[in-house]
Amino acid sequence: MRYLFIIIFILIFSNNVFAKDKLENVFVGYETLEMTMNKFQNFAGEVGYRIDERYQIRLTIMEVKLTERHLSSKYEAAAIDGEDVEGYFRGYEVHFDRYFSKRWYVSANFGYYEDTYKHTILSDRIENKTLTFGSGIGYKYTDLFGVNGVYLNVSVPVRFYFNKIEEQKLGSATVRTHLIVNNLWLFLGYEF
């Protein structure tokens, strides 16, 4: 059911896409960086429409089971201080991107996120649901490896949580405050 609106989104725009020039197209990508850090558990990706040479709109879908190693790594998520905590996050975010050069863009975003952190030994858990808004920057390179339509999109969104997660304990671990949250995503995909 939750992917139904993605299919509708593609169908709405696909009738006009194939008659247009290459700058106006539908694209679909799979997120590889977050998924690699979390052992490819569940799904993360994007679907979008390039309106013209300056604008595109994207929907990112993140449903990721977060590993204990990823959450506690200061070089990755840095969301937890301590051990024995794993998590899950579900996010749906719409990005309005404006290119300021051929490949670089800035974006405004709004979305909905659900975060769950649970202790692996104890029954302690934290659940949070929130609307978000924010901005970001990105870089999209098309025709990767000389293959027509294959793209790489590096996206760095930063978002504000309307319903923040306060710093709190789960066993001996500490879940850090989630008020302003950023990500580094790497999408590999195809433009139709």
Q: What is the CATH number of the domain that holds 116?
A: 2.40.160
Tens-place pLDDT, residues 107-138: 999 999 999 999 999 999 999 999 999 999 99
User: How confident is the model at residue 14, as a pLDDT?
Assistant: 46
- So what's the pLDDT on residue 134? 98
Written as six digits, the tokens of 28 are: 């679909």
DSSP string, 18-39: TTS-TTSEEEEEEE-HHHHHTT
pLDDT in tens, 17-54: 443 445 679 999 999 999 999 999 899 999 999 999 99
pLDDT digits (tens, 9 = 90+) for 61-95: 999 999 999 998 888 888 999 999 999 999 999 99
pLDDT tens, 145-180?
A: 999 999 999 999 999 999 999 999 998 999 999 999
Pairing label, strands 185-191, 125-142 = unpaired
Q: How far is the first Cα of the chain from the last one, in angstroms, to the nearest whole number?
A: 24
pLDDT at 23: 66
User: Across all residues in the chain, what is the average pLDDT?
Assistant: 89
User: Phi and psi (nearest 5°) for 3?
Assistant: -90, -5
Domain count, the chain: 1
Inform me whether the pLDDT recorded for 186 exceeds 70. Answer: yes
The phi and psi torsions of 15 (rounded to 5 degrees) equal -65, -35
Domain, as residue range, for 34? 4-191
Output the pLDDT for position 6. Answer: 52
On the question of pLDDT at 15 being above 90, the answer is no
Q: What is the pLDDT of residue 3?
A: 53
pTM of the model: 0.85
